[in-house]
Structure formats: C-alpha cells, structure tokens
Structure 1
Amino acid sequence: MKRIIPLVLLLIFLKPDDIRAQKPSKVRPNVILVMADDLGWGDVGFNGNPQIKTPELDKMAANSLQFTRFYAGAPVCSPTRGSCLTGRNPERYGIFFANVGHIKPQETTLAEVLKANGYATGHFGKWHLGTLSKTVRDGHRGGKANDEFSPPWENGFETCFSTEQAVPTWDPMKDQMVKTHYWTGPDRFAEDNLEGDDSRIIMDRALPFIGQSVQKKKPFLAVIWFHTPHSPVVAGPNYRAMYPGLDDNHQHYYGCITAMDEQIGRLRRELRKLGVANNTLILFASDNGPAGEGGGIDQHPGKRQQGTAGIFRGRKGSLYEGGIRVPALLEWPGRIKTHRKVSVPVTTSDYFPTILSLLDYSVPGNPRPMDGINVLPLLFTDTAQRPKPIGFKSYKQRAYTDNQFKIYSADDGIHYELYDLLNDPSELQDISEAHPMVLASMKTALDDWLSSCQKSEKGEDY
C-alpha cells in the first residue's frame, strides 16, 4: 500500500529529477489557477463594489466557495506567485521582492509533480519568477548569462505563453518602456495575435491548451496569470465606454478589470462546452492588494491605480490587511453545489499541499518545511479553525495571524501591534497593551517561524 503523508503537517520533497509517478487517484480533477495582478479586495462586485462591472466573476461567485479571509503569500507580486507553486513562504525559497530572485532548481513545483503523474501542464501570462532568456535583454532582468534564469519550462510547464514581467493591459507588446516578450519556449517568443486586450490574448492561448488536453483525455493544470490591473493600465475604447461620466483614469482601471472578467466568463463557458466543468477546480485570487497611494510602496496615482482594498487598511506593499487580504473564489461544480462564504484563513501557500492531498500524491525524499496546509477539511464547516498560523515578512515588516488575532511590526520586530481581526478587521485599534500574553505568545511563534525560514533560505533544506 502506498504510504500517505499527512500534508497538514509536512510535505516531502526531493529534486525534480527524483519525482516519480504514483498510482493515479480515482478522481483526477483538472486544475486551473487564475490570478489577477494588483486587484484589490474591493475591486470586484462579489465583494460589494457598486461600480466595477464584474458580472462573470459574480456568476462564478454565486456557485463557489467565497473566501472572506484569503491571503496572498506576500504584499507584492513575485513572492506570492512562488508560494502558489511551491507551498512554501517566499522567506524560505529566497524571492523576497518583485523583479528579483528566481525559483531555485532545488525547489519542487506543483507543475513538476502533476506533470510526473500524467497531467498536461501549461502556464499563460505573467511569470515573474525568474528570467526567460539568457540571450535577450528581456524585461527587467534578462540577458547574457543571467543567473536568475528560471523559466516555466524549467519548472514543470510543458506549454507556455509567458512574460517575465508586467506589460500594458492593452496592446501589450507595443511601445513598451521595458521591452519584454511572450515566450513560448527556449529562445522562442510569439509574434502574432498580440493586439488589443491583453487578457483576451492570454485566454486565446490557454483555451486551445485546455481543448487539446481534453481531446487527449489527459487531466490538466492550467496556470492563467493575468497582468490586469497592474500598471501600465490601459483599457480599450469599448471597455472605457462602459463607464460614462467617470474620469479617464477610472475608465481605464475599471475597464481593464471588466475586460479580464469577460475572459473568465469565456473560460467557464468553454469548460461547459467541452463537458469538463464538473471535474474542473478553478481557484481565482489576486497576488496582493491594490497599488497606489494609501500605504503601499507603489505610489503613482498618474499610473491609473484606482483600486480599493475595501474596508481594509493598507495597500500593495503593506502587511496590513489591505496589502495581503485579496478576493478569492473556489469553483468546482462536481463538488461544490451552492455558494458559501468561508471565513477560515486560507493563503496561496495552501494551493500545493491541498491539491496534492486531493490527488493523493506526495513527493518522496527527505522532509522539508512546508508553510501551506491542506485546507479541504476546513472548507465545508462553519466551525473550522485553521490549525497553523500564517506568517509574513516584507522589507522591515513582519506579521503573524491565526484564526482571531494578528500581530504586526513595521520595524523588524522592535515594536508590535496586536489586532483582533474578528472584531476589528480594519485594524483600527491596537490591543497589545490589553492582551500582553497573546502578544508574547504570537511573537515567540513568529520568531520561531522566521528562524526556520532563515535556515531554509540558507540551503539547509536541500
């Protein structure tokens, strides 16, 4: 009998070359990970925005688990994306900020495990986890002998249509300040169908991959990472026209989100047309909170950063809730029959262990620390409690949250604030003086977790 590893506590890792195929699970669902870029918690209709038109996401939400406490792995792009694929916090694998670092070859990705077990694997859209060329000066970091080369096809993805960084959300390859490409493999990049809405361009490549996988009767993993609504924010004329009476900046910001929403509807309709919707799990989320003024690191209002974090404090770059609490949905028609709000804390690091546990897959080898957990047992009961807190670190900020409380420091742990997120989700009242024992306990746990992360980042896991 195959040894089953308790993924809630730990996953087992080895180098990708040592991944071995295992006996297929009886249920082999298709998996689609959809991510928006800089979409705020309040930038969607299903979270109460009265202006931004997201009818397709709202329809999806009506049939999904809707997460009210879903956390990006970090308050900026690249670190969060790595957590989705590895199940580990960015402090462990060394991608601390956007536009620096790469997935190390010693890390094991979700795509590598699923590929080894018979899945077709494809990445479409923004990669941002390493350079995609050693010969072309591509994006921020590409070029000759680049030591941050780590493209999707080196990390388990067979099919790719991937950029190294952000691109304009309309006519993405035209008049860029920092030139990049849509790479399709080693030394290959796309040169056709690159005009108009970027979300549509991405979906034009993802849908054929899905259709071919279905035709071949292969389960698939499709990672669709939109650039919207990251700057440069540009919406086409027909999408701007949906917002008459608003200023130019709002028309562009809202319009590009509606354009992305349209493509999510297109995806869901295609799954139904192919007859695979019931057996397809779609996870939708954002990589961090909205960019712009109000506590973030990217304060350029001229870049059309009109997003909102709703009631939450902070924005992109901040470890207050507005920088890391993001809109998120899980749709799986074959298993999820009705809409339900889930209040248990969930994070992007949970993707990897949850999906592997669902498929009864593991990666044999020596144990390595895993930050994510299998959250499936927590999603279908109102009394569920997350058994393991979630830790964060970014620049000098650090934070740690459990089912009720959260501690936050802006100065590398010299001073801490304590918040009761159940009663004060906007983090307006620091209660650290009233609850010194809670603060002390969480500080100790955070310090222990950071110490473990530092050992991992130094290579002690490999």
Structure 2
Amino acid sequence: MKKITQNPLYLYFILLLSVLISCQQRSQEQTNPALPNVVLLLGDDHGWDETGYNGHPYLQTPVLDEMAAAGLRMNRFYSASPVCSPTRGSIITGRHPNRYGTFTPGYSIRPEEISIASLMKDAGYTTAHYGKWHLGPVKTGSPTNPAALGFEEYISHDNFFEMDPPLSVNGAEPVIFEGESSEILVREAQKFMDKAMEKNEPFFVVIWYGSPHEPYSGTPEDLALYEDLPENFGDRMVNLTSNETGSRVERLQRNVLQERFAEITAMDRSIGQLRDYLEEKGQRSNTLLWYFGDNGTPQEANATVPFRGQKGDVYEGGIRVPAVLEWPAKIKQPIVSDANAVSSDVMPTLLDIIGADLPELPIDGISLLPMMENRMPQRPAPIAFWNGRPRNAGEGLEDYIDPELQKGTTPLVKLMGGIATRNFKNFHQTDIREEDFSGPRALLDNQYKLVIHGGTGEDAKRELFDIRSDPAEEKNLIDTQAEIAGNMEDQLRSWQQSVLESLTESDYQ
C-alpha cells in the first residue's frame, strides 16, 4: 500500500502550510519592529534645580542622575507654560495652549484638538494614560477625558493627588489605590504593558505623576532620608495647603522641604522600577523613556533655584525644567545638549520617529530627533511663551462645553471655594482685540530672551537678557540692544496673532 506522505499534492500542501505558519510567526514576532515603545513621564511642579545631576545639595535622585549620565540630558528644556494644565496641553497637541483656551489651571482643552495619543494609535500603538490629567474631567461622558483624546485605557485623576490616591478607572467613579502614588502609577502601567506585549503591540504610555505638587507627604523611609537637613536651610516660613484641613497654613520651609524631597525621591525610585521592569521584559533597549517637569519650582519650595522667578513666571525659574531621555537602541553614547527645547516638541518628535505626518494646522513644536542624533547644536527657530488669560476672565463669553460636563469627580485635599475637587471651563472667542495681546510673554532665541509684562503700549515692562551669559536674568539690555529687542517683539507679536486666530477656532474650519 502506498504511503500518504509520498503523495506529491500532500507534500506540497504540507510545505505550503509550514511556510504560511512560519511567515505568520515571523509577522507576530516582528509586529512593527521599527516602532519603539514610548513612555512619557511628567513631574508635577518639579523645578530645574531639584535633581542631583543639576547640583542640588541634598536631594537624592539616583535614577534621574543615571539617565542624565547615560542618555540624552537636555540642559535647556522648557515647559510651554509656567503652570501645569497649559504645559500638559502642549504635550498632547504640539501647540501652544492659548491656541485652544487652556490658559491656566482649571481651563480644559477643546475636543477638536488632535491628540498625540490618537495619532500614535493610528500608527499601530496601543495607548494608555496614568495619573494627573488636568485637561478636563476624567469622568465618562466628558468630551475631554483621556479616552476622548485617544487613550484606550486610563487610570487618572482630574488634578493632583498624594498618598493613597483616588483614581478613576476608564471614567468610572474614583476608587482608592492604597500606597505611594508614584509607585502605584508605574505598577498599573506595567499591567498595561504586559497586555501590549502579549499582543505584540508597541505601547504608548503616559505617566503624569501627582508628585511633587503640594500638599506634601511621604513614606517614613523616604522622610527619614531628609530628617537632618541643615538648620540654616529653609529657615523661613512658607504658605501652602494643610493635609489636615485642605486650607492654607504657614509652616517652616525646612519641614516642608523634607516632605517634598521625600516625594521626589519616591518618584525617582518609581522610574527606576519602570526601567528594571523594561529590562526584565527585554524591552528597555527599544523603549523611549522621556522625563521632564511641567513648570518651575513653586514658591513654598523655592530654596535652591539659581534663576530669576518661580512657578507662574515667564522668567527662567518658572519655565526651565529638568529633562532626560533614554532610548538605548538609538542613543548609544551619552549626549549633553545645550540647545533650547520645549514641551511642545513632544508631538513633532514622536511623529518624526515613527514616520507619521504632522496635523495640517499651526504647530509650535519641532522635532528633536536631530538632538537625539547629536546633530542639533542650536534650535532653528525661537520659542515663544505667553501666560495669557481669556478676555475679561471669560465674562460675557459663551461656554465652549456644557458646564455640567466640565464638573470634576476625583477628590483632592486642597480646597478651592470650599470644593474638594476641580471643575473646568473653556470659552468661545470669536474676534481679536488689542487687549487680547496682553499678559506675561517672552521670546527665546539662541542668545537672547525678550520678556514683556502688561499691555501692549508704552507702559508695558520690557526686558532683554543675554540668556547664555546671564541665565539669572539680572542685566536688562533693553536700552543698549534696542534693535534686537524691537525685532524680537515684532516676531512675538506676529506669533501672538497666529495664536489668537487659532483661539477664534479658525483651525477647526
């Protein structure tokens, strides 16, 4: 009797089947092999001075220090705004937040904005957000929650949080996650990454910490690291939120800093836990891990800031922040960059890396891929800053989103108006007036920085600094370098015109 394996048709079928299975296995193993995983990490109120690698005399940040030594250290990285919500909007959109009315904390993003999460998802990534959102409520039904902006999964808070944070899982009513908040976010993110790896999908994960925003708290072990701060350090009274009452209280700064430093060290440790996890899973080499702060050091923590100003100011102390990036597969040797960069650069950079197009609307950021390749000695265009406000604080303007949909649900310690949560707002603005150009604003090029406060007339306060030789912004050159200042002011005004046109919703037409 003839054996079935000698049948030519059968042998051809078996050969074809084995080839198909092999191709399928290779396809599963190599799903988007050129696409790196991307993890964005953001500290809340973490100023430039508050890392070991930038010379802090007491803070322990060994993980950030190691990233700065081994990867890309961005010495001149800026937040798009001196306060948090606007900077977060710049990360999501690549655009200055005044373009869509996210002027300051408490102002939401607009639903029409094109999100980096949506674009990454379109490119084949699975996407998730963890921690502070602050671009609108995270509840189900909010048109500006993380899901509406392209995140497939999220465990998030409307605003900031401390130990044992109450977080919303995909828009549900908040639940308490017990433990140190930075470690909780990383732990939950790892569960999502596990699922992504099981499906052979590249992941885009955003972790926005609640630390080190006040009010402060820490584990006993972390607090013990800073119990012996010198008596002459932080020897003044400062005003901040009480963990007990949610209202303002005066305390000795040294005691406040002990708690703040404990939070920063815990956050640093959580980044180390994430790096160890990626190493264990064989993903660290092809994962782009990018950390920076969302604005400068706040007033109650200002003890070692080497620059002028603090959180809320367009001086260096308000907008220059720590930034480090690791991507071992790409950045094989340490790079220290002194080129200017800003949080609005995140979207253009990631889209450049994955080969995707920018949205066809005004984008304020640029790609930093040349910086990662050590071929960007200076920035090709200036960076503009503008800590603006809606006209008349929004009085007389139409709500952009139904106020009911703008009400927050996640509780927090800090009370405002007696409310232990945060609500949001955004307004329609249909025309442009001269008064709309007012507010603290600045233009930063590769040598000079122009700073303007007040209105647009002769009474406005104008300052020009050689930011390379005078990073503390102590010597005003406005009189001796009038031509340079005038040219920069013209550039700034032209950019403001573009921003205000976006604010009137022209980009959505």
TM-score by length of 1: 0.84
CA 1:438–1:379 in structure 2 vs 1: closer, same or farther (change >3 Å)?
farther
1:413-442, Cα deviation, whole Å (9 max, x unpaired): 423100011111110100111111110100
Deviation at 1:274, TM superposition (A): 0.5
Of 82, 101, 106, which aligns to 1:75?
82
Deviation at 1:214, TM superposition (A): 1.7
**Which amino acid in structure 1 is aligned with residue 160 of structure 2?**
A
1:38-92, Cα deviation, whole Å (9 max, x unpaired): 0111111011112011111111211111111100010000000010010000111
Report the Cα distance in structure 2 between the residues aligned to 1:390 and 1:263, rounded to whole angstroms.
32
**Residue 45 (str. 1) matches residue 88 (str. 2):** no
Of 177, 196, 200, which aligns to 1:213?
196
1:237 corresponds to: 220
**Residue 36 (str. 1) matches residue 40 (str. 2):** no
**Residue 119 (str. 1) matches residue 125 (str. 2):** yes
Deviation at 1:383, TM superposition (A): 6.3
CA 1:308–1:279 in structure 2 vs 1: closer, same or farther (change >3 Å)?
farther
Deviation at 1:230, TM superposition (A): 0.2
1:222 corresponds to: 205
Q: Alignment partner of 2:70: what SS? A: coil
Q: Alignment partner of 2:82: what SS? A: coil
The gaps in structure 2 that reach 5 residues or longer are 1-30, 230-253, 389-438
**Which amino acid in structure 2 is aligned with residue 328 of structure 1?**
A
Contact 1:42–1:307 at 8 Å: present in 2 too? Answer: no
1:7-36, Cα deviation, whole Å (9 max, x unpaired): xxxxxxxxxxxxxxxxx9762011110000
Deviation at 1:195, TM superposition (A): 2.1
**Which amino acid in structure 2 is aligned with residue 73 of structure 1?**
A
Of 339, 344, 364, which aligns to 1:344?
339
Report the Cα distance in structure 1 between the residues aligned to 2:140 and 2:277, rounded to whole angstroms.
36
Query: How does 1:256-335 map onto structure 2 within 5 Å?
Result: 256-292=263-299, 305-308=300-303, 310-335=305-330
Contact 2:302–2:310 at 8 Å: present in 1 too? Answer: no
Q: Alignment partner of 1:416: what SS? A: strand
2:355 corresponds to: 360
Q: Alignment partner of 2:297: what SS? A: coil
CA 1:461–1:309 in structure 2 vs 1: closer, same or farther (change >3 Å)?
farther
Report the Cα distance in structure 2 between the residues aligned to 1:73 and 1:380, rounded to whole angstroms.
23
Overall identity of the aligned pairs, in %: 39
Aligned length: 401
**Which amino acid in structure 2 is aligned with residue 190 of structure 1?**
V
1:376-417, Cα deviation, whole Å (9 max, x unpaired): 124444762211211111142010101111100121342310
Q: Alignment partner of 2:328: what SS? A: coil
1:179-233, Cα deviation, whole Å (9 max, x unpaired): xx41111334334xx2231111211211111122122210010100001110111
Report the Cα distance in structure 2 between the residues aligned to 1:291 and 1:184, rounded to whole angstroms.
30
**Which amino acid in structure 1 is aligned with residue 152 of structure 2?**
E
Q: Which deviates the most, 376-385 or 340-349?
A: 376-385
Q: Alignment partner of 1:34: what SS? A: strand
1:237-265, Cα deviation, whole Å (9 max, x unpaired): 11111113234322211111111111000
Report the Cα distance in structure 2 between the residues aligned to 1:250 and 1:349, rounded to whole angstroms.
30
Report the Cα distance in structure 2 between the residues aligned to 1:323 and 1:248, rounded to whole angstroms.
23
CA 1:69–1:412 in structure 2 vs 1: closer, same or farther (change >3 Å)?
farther
Of 128, 135, 154, which aligns to 2:134?
128
**Which amino acid in structure 2 is aligned with residue 164 of structure 1?**
D
Contact 1:43–1:307 at 8 Å: present in 2 too? Answer: no
2:386 corresponds to: 393
Of 370, 375, 399, which aligns to 1:377?
370
TM-score by length of 2: 0.76
Contact 1:66–1:329 at 8 Å: present in 2 too? Answer: yes
Query: How does 1:67-106 map onto structure 2 within 5 Å?
Result: 67-100=74-107, 102-106=108-112
Report the Cα distance in structure 2 between the residues aligned to 1:208 and 1:73, rounded to whole angstroms.
31
Report the Cα distance in structure 1 between the residues aligned to 2:110 and 2:326, rounded to whole angstroms.
31
Structure showing greater radius of gyration is: 2
Deviation at 1:104, TM superposition (A): 1.5
Contact 2:46–2:293 at 8 Å: present in 1 too? Answer: yes
**Residue 155 (str. 1) matches residue 162 (str. 2):** no
1:300 corresponds to: none
1:139 corresponds to: none
Report the Cα distance in structure 2 between the residues aligned to 1:25 and 1:270, rounded to whole angstroms.
21
CA 1:162–1:311 in structure 2 vs 1: closer, same or farther (change >3 Å)?
same
Deviation at 1:149, TM superposition (A): 4.5
The gaps in structure 1 that reach 5 residues or longer are 1-23, 136-147, 173-180, 293-304
Contact 2:140–2:171 at 8 Å: present in 1 too? Answer: no
2:407 corresponds to: none
Contact 1:132–1:149 at 8 Å: present in 2 too? Answer: no
